Amino acid sequence: MATEPAPVTQNAAAVPAPAPWEDPPVAEAYGRLEEIVRATRPSGDLSALRKAFEKAAFWHRNRTRATGEPYILHPIAAAEILAGEQMDLVCLISALLHDVVEDEEVPVDEIRRLFGEEISRVVDGVTKLGKLKMASREERQAESVRKMLLAMTSDIRVIIVKLADRMHNLQTLEALPAERRQRIAHETLEIYVPIAHRLGMGRIRAQLEDLSFKYGEPEGCQEILQQLESRRQANQDYLQLIKHNVEQKLSRERIPVRVEGRLKRPYSIWQKMKRQHIAMDQVYDLLAIRIITDSVKNCYAALGVIHNEWHPIMGRIKDFIAIPRPNLYQSLHTSVIGPEGHSFEVQIRTEEMHRVAEEGIAAHWKYKEGRKGHEDEDQRIAWLRHLVEWQQEMREPQAFMSTLKVELYSEEVYCFTPKGKVIVLPRDACPIDFAYAIHSDVGAACVGAKVNGRIVPLKYQLRNGDVVEILTQPSHQPSKDWLALVKTSRARNKIRHVINATERAKAIEIGEKYLEKEARRLGVQLSRISKAQLEQVAGEYGHAKIEDLYAALGFGRFSARHVLHKVAPEIVPETAETPKVAASAPVTLPPGAPGSDLIVKVKGIDDVLVYRAKCCNPIRGESIVGYVTRGKGIAVHSTNCKNVQSLLYEPERKIDVEWARATSDSFPVKMMVYTDDRPGMLHEITSVFYNESSNIRSVEARGDQHRNDDSAIIDLTVEVRDKKQLEKILSAIRRISGVRDVERVQ
Ligand code: MN
């Protein structure tokens, strides 16, 4: 952690060693920066700039660059690049401070305290961008990263500072080993050059591109430069000829113009030659002239003159004045066949359009003498709006005009794998979505996730820039609860698929055992029944395979008895079944069958075989849990049943169940009443049930063997609707005089 720098007011006599900002090369570099700033704002207050410089110099005092120079020269150079673009003080100060959080661990709060909210936000943004890993050669990947950079950037100045940072790094790339040089150069070409282009910052873009091309594709660059060099004179002469010609023709038409001859950028030439497999001669826009005039009207007039003089190439006329590019670029473009049959490109624009083309979005953060920044706010918003649409560039040129979205890419989040691959997900996506985006096997086996090195719950909502590591366990199966968390249809479909398959497997197992059990009960020897016979029955139910028949039985679509009747009609007569929960549990209940009411329902499954477990015999209203038994369907236990705890050693057999809406079913409950043995007691007890319309299935009174007094025990099996009714009955019995206690028997 950095400590406070010495006070700015100097006391040279008391401090023998010079302060970090007094080191001659450092002071000189800063002096140059101030000079550039002064040139455009002679009366401006630069005390904040100076303060940022001194603080940054102090914080970086123990660091040197790869070149061995004091580190502070780098932020000063970045600020100088921005000063040359006449950027505002927030940009310049942020550039001076851009590495102190990352490299010197100066807290962002400290920046905020010293330099205010705006600057701290920009510095924080630049720091965050620096932490991203962006190492990929894939074009789609690069596009995602570019989008992400903008999505993360509420203040475009973060990007502008980052571009200046990158520019200076490229300018001093020589000091780094070749491998790192190439990596940085490629990253610049893939990420930062297109961003500079999207932001319309033509000048910065051109410099970044030339430098990265030199280091990133040294051979290609050298070859292009050699070829250009070999025809330099010819190209120059040719451009001079056209330029002269154009100036003459346009002045005859009284169109005031400035004409610039230019060569296509080396990197663009190289890309085009590579992409189209052509020689440099065949690049039709290798040579170009730019005509800058005073009005839109004269742009079109000039175009007319050009087309009158030289034959235009079909399909090469583009009117970016009527339909500006999303980055607000405006110009007329055409390619024509010039003298000696050589083609060249012509760009025609006004001075204002030219300024926008060169500076782009940066123009709106420029320092303007005597003006405050707010006037440009509308323009800035217009910029952001256009950026939103950059993907539609050239495809739907009108669409961006109507959009009102200001937030950039808010519908998507961009996250990284630990290896730096970008995963694009919808907003609010969770780690499960991320896992499925990697691979469905990773998704299925996902048991947890680390985000930025920390364990997070699976419901965690991913944020831009999160580095996500998925924790897996090979045998793990997706859970139904995940369906409520995931945001991608890919994850949802895969989870559903697995759950359906698992449920089907369970149903097959249940169905087969159900059939065996019923066969035993009804005296049918299944072993005597051939596979072909069963297959035929399956066919009658519309199923191709026996497995399907079992599954249908397991899901309770029809009863085992029906099946047995079909295979052994002589043993199992056809009877109308009216299945109901009987007193003796376990009970296989074919739910969904006509006349039956579901009493317990498995969450998310319409019909499956369920019964209430004998051990705890839960009744409506109690908290319950399902357990897939081997062969008897799903046993429903009370959550606090002792057996459940021991059954849970196979958690995958646990299944969520809930009490289903039901009309008339009732639950048998056994109870014991301890009473004084007196006349009329039994009558008083039974009348409680009568009043509650609860049926008594059995009642038996006996003397208490453990006591020798006149006490008695009454055993009852009664039918109750639900927990509430049971409690009402129990308390009514307790109120009877002479009743000592009553308990439910499990
Ligand atoms: Mn830097």
Query: How would DSSP label each residue in 66-91?
Result: TTSSBTTHHHHHHHHHHHHTTB-HHH
Q: How far is the CA of 555 from the centre of ligand 1 (A)?
A: 65
Q: How far is the CA of 126 from the centre of ligand 1 (A)?
A: 9
pLDDT attached to residue 225: 92
* pLDDT cut 90: percent of the chain above it: 24
Q: How far is the CA of 98 from the centre of ligand 1 (A)?
A: 6
pLDDT of 64-76, one tens digit each? Answer: 988 889 999 999 9
Report the alpha-carbon distance of residue 131 to residue 417 in Å, rounded.
Answer: 14
Catalytic position from the list 22, 102, 124, 577: 102
Q: How far is the CA of 183 from the centre of ligand 1 (A)?
A: 16
Element of type H or E holding 412? strand 412-416
Q: How far is the CA of 99 from the centre of ligand 1 (A)?
A: 5
State the average pLDDT for the chain: 78
- Label residue 388 by pLDDT band (50, 70, 90): very low
Question: Per-residue DSSP letters for 666-726?
Answer: -EEEEEEEEEE--TTHHHHHHHHHHHTT--EEEEEEEE-TT--SSEEEEEEEEEESSHHHH
Q: How far is the CA of 278 from the centre of ligand 1 (A)?
A: 39
φ/ψ of 718, rounded to 5, equals: -130, 165
Q: Which of 140-144, 246-250, 519-523 has the lowest mean pLDDT?
A: 140-144
For residues 628 and 655, is the Cβ–Cβ distance under 8 A? yes
Report the alpha-carbon distance of residue 114 to residue 51 in Å, rounded.
Answer: 9
Average pLDDT value for residue range 251-270: 90
pLDDT attached to residue 239: 92
| Ranges 90-99, 377-386, 476-485, most confident | 90-99
Average pLDDT value for residue range 358-387: 54
Q: How far is the CA of 387 from the centre of ligand 1 (A)?
A: 25
Q: Is the pLDDT of residue 26 over 50?
A: yes
Average pLDDT value for residue range 335-346: 88
Answer yes or no: 102 catalytic: yes
Closest CA to 78 of 120, 31, 33, 108: 33
Catalytic position from the list 22, 103, 535, 597: 103
Q: How far is the CA of 75 from the centre of ligand 1 (A)?
A: 6
pLDDT of 197-233, one tens digit each? Answer: 767 778 888 999 999 999 999 999 999 999 999 988 9
pLDDT of 457-504, one tens digit each? Answer: 888 999 877 789 998 888 888 888 888 899 888 898 888 888 888 878
pLDDT of 1-18, one tens digit each? Answer: 445 554 455 454 555 677
Q: How far is the CA of 690 from the centre of ligand 1 (A)?
A: 87
Q: In a 3-state reduction of DSSP, which class is residue 251?
A: helix
Answer yes or no: 512 catalytic: no
Exposed (0-12), middle (13-18) or buried (19+): which is 325, by Cβ within 10 Å?
buried
Exposed (0-12), middle (13-18) or buried (19+): which is 102, by Cβ within 10 Å?
middle
Q: How far is the CA of 187 from the centre of ligand 1 (A)?
A: 15
- Label residue 526 by pLDDT band (50, 70, 90): confident
Q: How far is the CA of 48 from the centre of ligand 1 (A)?
A: 20
Tokens of 577: 């079944």
Report the alpha-carbon distance of residue 226 to residue 569 in Å, rounded.
Answer: 95
Q: How far is the CA of 493 from the centre of ligand 1 (A)?
A: 45
Residues comprising the chain, all counted: 746
Average pLDDT value for residue range 331-358: 89
Helix-helix angle 723-735:681-691, to 10 degrees: 150
Q: Is the pLDDT of residue 341 over 90?
A: no
Report the alpha-carbon distance of residue 620 to residue 665 in Å, rounded.
Answer: 10
* pLDDT cut 70: percent of the chain above it: 78
Q: How far is the CA of 84 from the centre of ligand 1 (A)?
A: 18
Instruction: List the shell of residues around ion ligand 1, using CB closer than 5 Å.
Output: 99, 165
Q: How far is the CA of 454 from the centre of ligand 1 (A)?
A: 27
Q: Where is pLDDT greater, at 358 or 258?
A: 258
